[in-house]
Structure 1
Amino acid sequence: MDTSILWHPGPLIDDVEITQVRELAAAAERADGVAPLSEQPLLNLREADDDVVHLLSWWRGDLAGYAQVDRRGPVPSAELVVRPEHRRHGLGFHLLASATARAQERRDVVPTDGQHDARRDDDRAALHVWAHGDLPAARALAARSGFVPVRELLVLARPLGGPDEHPFPDVPPDLRLRTFVPGADDAAWVRANARAFAHHPEQGRLTVADLRARVDEDWFDAAGLYLLEDTGSVSGGTAGPDGAVVGFVWTKIPTGTAPDPAVSGGPTEPPAEGEIYVVGVDPDAQGRGLGTLLTAVGLAHLARARVREAVLYVDGDNAPAVRTYERAGFVRRTADVQYAAAPRADRPTGR
C-alpha cells in the first residue's frame, strides 16, 4: 500500500480531521482491547503549538494511520496507531521512522546556563514512544525499528464494593479535606502538583492551561477532586484559600458511565470502571501516611458513585507508590511501555 505520510504542526485542520483521528483510535481500541492514544495526545489535537506535530497517512479516503510527536518536554515523545485493516503492510514502521525524523527537527533551545546540550549529539534521546498495553505487534515494531523498553507504566485494578465497604477515612484534626473549586484553586493545585511530581516527566510540568483543558472535558467533576490542607504551619507547603495544600486525590469516571441522577423509575447501571486519576503528596509532608489516606478517599468517592472496579496508573519503578496501592488491594492488570532507540552498538543491522 502507499505509505506516503503527510505531516504538519498543530492543531489539526478542523473538527472533521479531529473526528477522523478519534474514530481511527476507537477502531483500534475495539480490535485490540486497549486505547492506542492516551489523554494528552487527544487534548493536543487542538493544541496550537508548533512543537506538537501530527502525521497522517490516507488510503482511499480513509485515515489509515496517525502519529503524534510532542517535542515540548525534555525528551520528545510520540504515540501512533494504524487502522486494523491496514496493518502488516509496513505503515507502522514508516510512521515511526517519520515521527523520529520530526522529533529530530525540534527547535533548538539555547541553554540558559551556557552548558552544552548533549541531546543534540545523541539521537538515542531523540524520541520516546509509548505502546499502550505493550501488545505483541508493538513489541515487533519496536524490535524492527531498533527500539528498546525504557519505562513501564503499570495499570493496576481492584474490584469495589458499595459505600459501606469503602467509607471515607477519618482525617487527622490538623488536616482538612475539601473539594476543588475551579478558578479559585487552579494556581494552588498546579503548584502543589509541581511539588509532588517535580521529577515526573509529564505530570510535573502541567500548567494552569493544562488543568483548565481537563476541567473543560466532559468527564470532569469538581466533586471528585479532593484537596488535603494542613491547618497548621507546614514548611514549604503550598498556600491555598484555606490553608497549605499538602496533598490531593483526583478521580475520573468516564463520560456516559456514571448514573444519571435525573433519571427516575428504576435502578441505573453502575459505572463499570472509575479511575484514581492522580494522587499527589507534597514532599515536605511525606512520611505521614497521606498517600494511603488519599487513596482511601479516592476509593470512597468511587464507591459512592457505585463504580464496580477502580483502576490507576503508576510508574513501575515507583516502589513506594506501588506498595501503597497493593496494600489498598490493587493488582496488576497490564502495562504501558515506553520505547526509545537502542544504543548504536545494540541496533539491528541489515534493515
Structure 2
Amino acid sequence: MSNARTVLVIGGGAAGNAVTVLLRRAGLGVDLIEAKDDWNATAGSGITLQGNALRVLRELGVWEQVETSGYGFGSVGITAPDGTVLHVQDDIRSGGDDLPATVGMQRPQLQRILIDAVRASGAQVRLGVRVTALDQDGDGVSARFTDGTEGRYDLVIAADGLGSTTRAAIGITAKPEPTGMAIWRIAAPRPAAVERTDLAYGGPAFIAGYCPTSETTLYAYVVEANRDRASIPPTSYADEMRRLVSAYGGNWPEITEHITDPAQVNYTWFDRMLVEDSWHRGRVVLIGDAAHCCPPTLAQGAALSLEDAWVLARMLSASDTWDDALLQAYYERRIARVRPVVDASVQIGQWQLDGVRDADVPGLMGRTMTMLRELP
C-alpha cells in the first residue's frame, strides 16, 4: 500500500482522535478537522471505560496515562435507596485479564490525553473548521472547508458524532431517537468510601449512581424518565438534580453537598440509533456515534467508538484496495458486535420504564460483556 494515501477525519472526539493516531502509525497522511475551537477539551463530567475500551487505548499507546489519570476498579455495588449494599458483583474483564475491568475518568482528561497523542502523531489538525462540500469520483473525494481551503483525499472518515452532518450529507437518513429516559450528571469530589460504581435502584428515580474518576474526583448521575427540556431552565439544573438525589443515603449526602452550581450539571436524554445496511457511501465512511449510539446502561458508547476506529484502521492498513467491498466488510464486522450491545442497552432501560421487576438484567449484562471479551 502506498504511503501517499491521504485521509480526512471529520471530528476530534474519541473515535476521530483514535483513528487518526492509528492511521498515522501506519504511515498514512491524515488531516483532522474539528468544528469546535477548543477541541472539546473541557466538555463533560466523567466517563466509565470498560476493559474493551482500555484494550484499544493500549493499542493507541496511551494506557499508562489513562491508568495514572483514572481510577481502576473491578466490581459494581447494588444498593437500596437508603445506601444499604444489597449485592456486589465482580465486573467481567472485557479487555482481558491483564487490564482492569473498569476505569473511571474525568472525560476532559481522557480528551486531553487523546489530543496529545494526535499532536504527537504528526497529523495535520485544524480547529474551528467544518466541511462545506464533499465531491466524490472513482479515485477520491474533493473537500471544501469553511475557511475557504480545499483538499483531495482517498477516503473521508466521518467521526462527527450523534448529530453528524456528514451522515446526512451523504444520504444516510438514520437519526437518533429518544428512548424515554434522561440523565443528570455532575463531577464532584470523591468521598473516601467510594471505591467502585454503586447503583441504587428505586426511589424517586430509576437509577442513582456514581463512578470514581480519580483519587480525588467522581462523577455522579441520576436517571429518570425524560422531560420536556424547554420546561427545565438551565439555571435550575442544580436544584433539580439535588432534589432527585436528596432521597438517597449512603455516600449520597456527601456528594449532594457539591451539587450547587447549575453550570456544572449536565442534563441529557438517552438516544438510540443504528445505521443499517452500510456505514459508507462511496469513499465516505462513518465511525463512532455517527453510526450508532445507545443509552449508557452498559457504559459501552465510548468503547464501541474506539473499537470502530481500531477495526477500520487495521482493515485500511492491511489492504491495497480501498473499495466498496472493503468498507462493506468493515460494516458487517462491526454490526455483528454493535447491534447486540445497542439492543441490550435499550432493553435494560425499557425494562425500567415498563416496571418489569423480574427482568434478568444481570444475565443480559453478563452475556453481553462476555461477548465483548472477544477481539472486535
* TM bucket normalised to smaller: under 0.3
Larger Rg: 1
What TM-score results when the alignment is normalised by the length of structure 1?
0.25
- Report the TM-score, using the length of structure 2 for normalisation: 0.24
